[in-house]
A and B are shown apart, each in its own frame.
Chain A
Amino acid sequence: MAKGFKNRKEILQFIKQAIVESNDLQKLLTTFKKGDVLFKQGDPISHLYLLIEGTVNLSHRRDDGSNLELITLSPGHFVGLVAFTTGNNSVTTCITAENTIALCFKQDEFDQYLTANPKLQVPVQQLMLSNMSDRFLKNVQLESKMNALNKQLEDEGVQLKEAFEQLENSHQKMVAQEKMATLGELVAGFAHEVNNPAAALLRSSEMLKDNFMDSENATAKTEIFKLGLVSKPLSSSDIRSRMLTIQKEYPWVKERSVVRKLAQMPEEALKIINKKKKKIPVETLVQQFEAGKFIHNIQVASERIANLVKSLKSYSRQDRNVSDMIDIRDGINDTILILSNRLKYLNLELDLLDIPQTCGKMGELNQVWTNILVNACDVLPHGGSLKIRTRSEGDYKILVEISDNGPGIPETVLPKIFEPNFTTKNQGAKFGLGLGLAISNEIVRQHGGFIKVSNNENGGASFQIILPVKEC
């Protein structure tokens, strides 16, 4: 009579009882010592084992030679079941983990046993099924676990990729900052080098001027020379109208170049020429005036160089890691002077209201102004206007606003504008990695502030840099 068993334990009990009652079965019992090998991977299996007592370990050797511990089987489990049912060689190696007793059924005699012991049929069948379903369940679990692990691996892969990209960005930023630092060093070095000859130039030209101005000699030549020393250049339209007047008043002067030179001379000088025209040729006195004018030009140009050098030194203050109480407007003015040629063809409107000093690094902030101004120049190649404003916002904030009347920034671009490596400039940008605004943004943030970009109502873009007022 077939009896339904609840679990493996019950079946095992039943079989143990059956063994006690059957000599044949007792003959099939085999005792193994710990460490005995029941079968090896790759071998054909001759027996089907049913564990009665003890445990065995199943392991699988991989292609690379490493050993994979698979499972430990306990009493009530069949061992060698798969090979038994499929007739294939074993895919595992079975070694006892302790002293073990098992029923060893010879494969070809298995059916005989069951016929001889019919009451074993059902339990054995159930046991086999239970074993198979165990294995199946285990398989499902493993598949699920593998899937979860794969997903985890994938996620980690994505994280790694992101981390790598961030590292790349930081690296590039560092390289760009190194470049800027090197360039900054070169600029500062140049400024210092040029400073000395510029100072010498300025002093010498001023002294030369003073030297002549102090001369007590009261001759016409000296007088007219002195007038040249203080002359101011005239615009071309003024020269043109003056030339017409001179041509009328000095009809004996035939050379147009001389007429032009006379047109550039002040009334006093012309009086001297008139007075002496019988004794001293016009050309001689004009030449004297010119000599004075050239010295004046030298002095003016030297002053300009000296100012540029001063601004350059101030602009590129290399003490990067030292913060100081600064008036940001000084840096803005230095930057404008340095960039004056680039800004020349634009309408520049300055509205630098009073702002309190704050703690900051002037050299770094100058980079920010430079970056934004140069960007504005780039979008206005044929002219336009640029407004730079400073003002306080309450007691604790400073606002610097730079706005242009260019084409503005497309809405799709606005959110990406501070991203590193984002650029709308083509390959023509000589120094560009698309990092200018990213670095500027970082500089401002390190100062405790932030940059806001927006498009103006009536066209163009506006950069608002807010900085905190604080002590060093």
Chain B
Amino acid sequence: MDHQIYILVVEDELEVMDALVNDLEQFEKFFPVESANSAEEARNVVNEIYNAGNEVGLILCDHVMPGQNGVDFLIELEKYLDQHSAKKVLVTGQAGLEDTIQAINNAHLDYYIAKPWTKELLEDVVIAQLTNFVMQRHYNPMQFMMILDSVRLSEYMRTNHITDH
């Protein structure tokens, strides 16, 4: 595959961002990780990624940040990324019910992880979401068998008559 699928981490507290990125280390060979400390920076990073001919497969986003909050950012992004179906996950301790409902309804939020997270949960969610992404974008699943959900990918290959060439 010629272009890269990125994982984007949006978090303003540097230590927390560090921890999240560290937990994603095993995915980096297949899905490079980028980070941003604010919604505004995230927007720029997303633009750079797409301008370089790559795409964003998964966004892990905090909610309470200076400037635009995570939910508003994801809702805005939804309009922009409409046809690109990047998976959106909120990682936060502080989104109230109303904000979360907004994110679900208007940003098609795919998952919500409450802080503090465990590495196991984070990995499971990332694998599941990126598996969904890869299937929805009709990428050849073979290249991701080692890192994503091989059971679902195999099933997908079977039902779509994809052969491993």
Contacts and interface: CB of A to CB of B under 8 A. Distances in A.
Contacts, number: 56
A235 B35 CA distance: 9
B82 to A, nearest CB: 22
A236 B41 CA distance: 9
Contact of A233 (B15, B28, B41, B65): B15
A234 B28 CA distance: 19
B149 interface: no
B14 A382 contact: no
B35 A236 contact: yes
A408 to B, nearest CB: 22
A236 B15 CA distance: 11
Interface in B57-88: 64-69, 72
B14 A233 contact: yes
Nearest to B48: A240
Contact of A234 (B14, B33, B98): B14
Contact of B15 (A237, A255, A256, A297): A297
A233 to B, nearest CB: 4
B18 to A, nearest CB: 6
Consensus secondary structure, chain B interface: mixed
B36 A300 contact: no
A255 B25 CA distance: 10
Interface in B18-43: 18-19, 21, 25, 28-29, 32-37, 41
A345 B18 contact: no
B67 A256 contact: no
Given A236-B35, A297-B19, 10 more contacts: A237-B36, A256-B33, A257-B33, A260-B33, A342-B64, A344-B66, A345-B68, A382-B68, A383-B68, A383-B69
Given A255-B28, A256-B32, A383-B69, A345 B15 contact: no
Interface-central residue, B12, B15, B45, by most chain A CB under 10 Å: B15
B154 interface: no
A344 B69 CA distance: 10
Contact of A257 (B28, B65, B67): B28
Interface of B: 12, 14-15, 17-19, 21, 25, 28-29, 32-37, 41, 45, 64-69, 72, 94, 98
B69 A236 contact: no
A265 B62 CA distance: 25
Interface string A22-61: 0000000000000000000000000000000000000000
A233 B14 CA distance: 6
A231 B41 CA distance: 24
A344 B62 CA distance: 13
B37 A237 contact: yes
5 closest A-B pairs by CB: A233-B14, A236-B35, A257-B28, A257-B25, A256-B28
22 contacts: A233-B17, A234-B14, A236-B34, A237-B36, A240-B34, A240-B35, A240-B45, A255-B28, A255-B29, A256-B28, A256-B29, A257-B28, A341-B94, A342-B64, A344-B66, A345-B67, A345-B68, A382-B69, A382-B72, A383-B67, A383-B68, A383-B69
Looking at chain A, what size class is its interface with the partner chain?
A: 20 to 34
Interface-central residue, A235, A297, A382, by most chain B CB under 10 Å: A235
Contacts of A301: 15
A300 B16 CA distance: 12
Contacts of B36: 236-237
Interface string A236-262: 110110000000000000011100100
A428 interface: yes
Contacts of B34: 236, 240
A331 B66 CA distance: 24
Contacts of A382: 68-69, 72
Contacts of A240: 34-35, 45
A404 to B, nearest CB: 16
B18 A297 contact: yes
Contacts of A257: 25, 28, 33
A312 B65 CA distance: 23
Nearest to B96: A428
A260 B21 contact: yes
A235 B32 contact: no
Contacts of A235: 14, 37
A240 B41 CA distance: 12
Contacts of A233: 14-15, 17-18
A428 B72 CA distance: 20
B31 to A, nearest CB: 10
